């Protein structure tokens, strides 16, 4: 184990937490040592505390870890702590960890809109981690102790949305109008209490509280340029990009599907073939950095007319790849397409792990 960074997970028994356990179990650079959950679980062995719902078996390395309460005193040895806490209690807990000097990568929404907190989709905007580098450098120059920090992962459906936008904007210039209609998996609603079977079986729920606002706002932060002093990003304005989201819960276990339409600002717009080639050729920076979990193929362009489908395509590149199909002209905007991303891997825990790998590659943990 020598040389591995010590990792902890908050909310370790939940939907996102269980995914963290799977992704960190045999990780070459991180050793999972500390797990936190509610006082209902604290004091129990993980195997006894968790209601394991993954199709992969519970890794042996996690079974006997005794679950702690979510207090920084139990996580002091951690080089990095991943949080899968619900927003109702993540705010106070993550703040206490940060003030204790701990590096946190969080799935909760609480700090996503803070100016000095990077909001990261690691296959899209890892350069926003410069905000953390700047914070650490400033403390060093001022002779202060190394500060803790929080990095937020985006909302799960935002991650799938922005993944294909990044290469398109890089190649063809700004996108100024964008609509998305989502078909979101049940696991995205968490496990406690989760979506009741009686509500979702034979049904679609055309409402996910707060989700549309998150998608519309977060897109403007993730695609924004860094400010010159690298302390924050310059949020895109509604004049620069209009985003409209409609979110639906569907009877799928994992994998969020989104039907997207978009318009480029520059005329003439690229052709369908140019859009496909651009997406196929995109290599994310995390892969160029040599990060262990980075997808070799960031965007999978599927030509079959009935793909992507969650059951068939969500695990491409181990769930770190995003699938895009049905790319065609749109009579209202320029193009429409169907995007599929794994909500608890690239949309949550996987992004957390990939962010930590980037931090490690950049010597920031
Ligand atoms: P979840 O399945 O409901 O899990 C919640 C976790 O928090 C459990 O480990 C639970 O432990 C723990 N917990 C509950 N009350 C607590 C307390 N008072 N103090 C400390 N820990 C407590 O939720 P989830 O779906 O994994 O979501 C976690 C976070 O990730 C949320 O902020 C969510 O919005 C975000 N997110 C989720 C997804 C997704 O696809 N699911 C994607 C992106 C972001 P016990 O078992 O002990 O109760």
- Any idea what the CATH number is for the domain that residue 186 is in? 3.30.360.10
Question: Residues 165, 241: one domain?
Answer: yes
Do both 328 and 356 map to the same domain?
Answer: no
126 and 185, same domain (yes or no): no
Closest Cα to atom 18, ligand 1: which residue?
Answer: 38
* Residues 180 and 286 occupy one common structural domain: yes
Q: Are residues 129 and 196 in the same domain?
A: no
Rounded alpha-carbon distances, angstroms, from residue 193 to 55, 330, 333: 19, 40, 39
Ligand 1 geometric centre to CA of 333 (Å): 37
Residue nearest atom 7 of ligand 1, based on CA coordinates: 11
For residue 240, give both structure tokens: 């620069």
| Residue 52 CA, ligand 1 centroid: distance in Å | 14
Domain total in the chain = 2
Q: Which domain holds residue 181?
A: 158-341
pLDDT in tens, the chain (365 residues): 458 999 999 999 998 999 999 999 999 999 999 999 999 999 999 999 999 999 999 999 999 999 999 999 999 999 999 999 999 999 999 999 999 999 999 999 999 999 999 999 999 999 999 999 999 999 999 999 999 999 999 999 999 999 999 999 999 999 999 999 999 999 999 888 899 999 999 999 999 999 999 999 999 999 999 999 999 999 999 999 999 999 999 999 999 999 999 999 999 999 999 999 999 999 999 999 999 999 999 999 999 999 999 999 999 999 999 999 999 999 999 999 999 999 999 999 999 999 999 999 999 99
In whole angstroms, what is the distance from residue 240 CA to residue 24 CA? 39
CATH code of the domain in which 148 resides: 3.40.50.720
Ligand 1 atom at minimum distance from 12 CA: 9
Best mutation site among 8, 9, 10, 15 for ligand 1, i.e. most ligand atoms within 8 A of its Cβ? Answer: 15
- Domain match, 146 and 195 both: no
How many Cβ atoms are within 10 Å of 42's Cβ, its own excluded?
17
pLDDT tens digits for range 21-66: 999 999 999 999 999 999 999 999 999 999 999 999 999 999 999 9
Residue ID of nearest Cα to ligand 1 atom 9 = 11
Regarding whether 162 and 142 lie in a shared domain, the answer is no
Residues 176 and 279 in one domain: yes
Specify whether 172 is located in the same domain as 64.
no
Quick one: which atom of ligand 1 is closest to the CA of 90? Answer: 32
Nearest CA to ligand 1 atom 39: 188
Residue 359 CA to ligand 1 centre (angstroms): 24
Distance 206 CA to ligand 1 centre (A): 22
- Same domain, yes or no: 198 and 313: yes
- Ligand 1 pocket: which residues have CB below 6 Å? 11-17, 37-38, 40-41, 70, 84-87, 89-90, 107-108, 156, 187-188, 190-192, 343-344, 347-348
Judge if 108 and 214 occupy the same domain.
no
Q: Which of 54, 66, 107 to mutate to test the pocket of ligand 1 (most atoms within 8 A of CB)?
A: 107
Catalytic site positions: 156, 256
Find the 82 Cα to ligand 1 centroid distance in Å. Answer: 12
Question: Using an 8 Å Cβ cutoff, are 221 and 117 in contact?
Answer: no
For residues 290 and 187, membership in a common domain is answered with: yes
Closest CA to 231 of 129, 143, 307, 328: 129
Q: Is 85 exposed, middle or buried (0-12, 13-18, 19+ CB in 10 A)?
A: buried
Cα-to-chain-centroid distance, residue 172: 25
d(CA 171, ligand 1 centre) in Å: 38
Grouping H, G, I as helix, E, B as strand and the rest as coil, residue 126 is helix
């Amino acid at each position: 184990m020598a040389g591995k960074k010590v990792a902890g997970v908050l909310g370790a028994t939940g939907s996102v937490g269980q995914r963290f356990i799977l992704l960190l179990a045999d990780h070459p650079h991180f050793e999972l040592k500390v797990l936190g959950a509610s006082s209902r679980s604290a004091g129990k062995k993980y195997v006894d505390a968790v209601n394991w719902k993954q199709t992969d078996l519970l890794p042996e390395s996690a079974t006997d870890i005794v679950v702690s309460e979510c207090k920084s005193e139990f996580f002091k040895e951690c080089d990095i702590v991943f949080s899968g806490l619900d927003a109702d209690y993540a705010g106070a807990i993550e703040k206490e960890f940060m003030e204790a000097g701990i590096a946190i990568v969080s799935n909760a929404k609480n700090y996503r809109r803070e100016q000095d907190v990077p909001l990261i989709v690691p296959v899209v905007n890892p350069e926003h981690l410069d905000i953390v580098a700047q914070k650490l450098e400033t403390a060093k120059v001022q002779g202060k102790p190394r500060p803790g920090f929080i990095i937020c992962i985006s909302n799960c459906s935002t991650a799938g949305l922005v993944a294909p936008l990044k290469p398109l904007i890089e190649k063809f210039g700004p996108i100024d109008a964008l609509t998305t209609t989502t078909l979101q998996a049940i696991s995205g609603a968490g496990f406690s209490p989760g979506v009741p079977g009686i509500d979702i079986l034979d049904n679609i729920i055309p409402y996910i509280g707060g989700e549309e606002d998150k998608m519309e706002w977060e897109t403007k932060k993730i695609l924004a340029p860094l400010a010159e002093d690298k302390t924050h990003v310059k949020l895109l304005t509604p004049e620069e990009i209009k985003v409209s989201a409609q979110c639906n819960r569907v009877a799928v276990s994992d994998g969020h599907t989104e039907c997207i339409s978009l318009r480029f600002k520059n005329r003439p717009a690229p052709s369908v073939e140019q859009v496909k080639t651009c997406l196929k050729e995109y290599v994310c920076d995390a892969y160029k950095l040599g990060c262990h979990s980075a997808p070799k193929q960031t965007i999978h362009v599927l030509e079959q007319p009935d793909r992507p489908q969650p059951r068939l395509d969500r695990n491409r590149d181990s769930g770190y790849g995003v699938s895009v199909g049905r790319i065609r002209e749109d009579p209202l905007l320029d193009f429409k397409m169907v995007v599929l991303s794994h909500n608890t891997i690239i949309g949550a825990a996987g992004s957390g792990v990939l962010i930590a790998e980037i931090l490690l590659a950049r010597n920031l943990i």
